[in-house]
Amino acid sequence: MDRLFIFDFDDTLANFSMYNTCVLKQPVKIFPHIGTTLKGAVEVLEFLRSRGDDLAMLSMNMVLDDELKWKKLKRVGMDRWFNDRNAFFVRRKTPEIIAKICGRRRKDSCYMVGNSFAHDVVPALDAGIHAVYIPRPWFSSWLPRKLPVDNRFHRFSEISQIIQHYDDI
């Protein structure tokens, strides 16, 4: 199946959070664990590519200039999958931006994958596409009390579960 998977970057594919992006501006590596891919992310991207699916990245970024945004991607090797044609940096993720990335594709073949309910799931569902929600463990207390009951909403505990459930989503 020809699908489009739109990935969030921070804490979905790589261990970067909005609050720690200032580390890239430091001359010395203060936090060595920051700037690594999350377990399973590379395998998922490879799997999706092997299935003939398209990839895109949609990341909120209000802190870094253009040069540092790309440096951040390159630091973890994500420039292998994402470039200026399929990576989008925005101040806010909206259904309109997601719809524009999906283009003329059928909505049921587009998936937003992210760790933020408010910034990834809600705009994806509002755009009419699938939402794959992978909350980080320390965010579990921030989960909404009521998760959507919608066949377009998928919740996994790890990104690698996309491979296991590929045929079901």
Of 67, 127, 53, 132, the closest CA to residue 95 belongs to: 127
140-163 pLDDT per residue, tens: 555 566 777 889 999 999 999 999
Tell me, which fold does domain 4-168 have in CATH?
Rossmann fold (3.40.50)
Amino acid at 167: D
77-136 pLDDT per residue, tens: 999 999 999 999 999 999 999 999 999 999 999 999 999 999 999 999 999 999 999 987
Whether the Cβ atoms of residue 109 and residue 3 lie closer than 8 Å to each other: yes
Q: Is the pLDDT of residue 164 over 60?
A: yes
Other CB atoms within 10 Å distance of the CB of residue 36: 14
Whether the Cβ atoms of residue 56 and residue 6 lie closer than 8 Å to each other: yes
8-54 pLDDT per residue, tens: 998 899 886 544 445 545 544 544 555 688 999 999 999 999 999 99
Average pLDDT, the chain: 86
Q: Within a 13 Å sphere around the CA of 28, how many CA atoms are in the beta-carbon half? A: 1
Q: Where are the domains of the chain?
A: 4-168
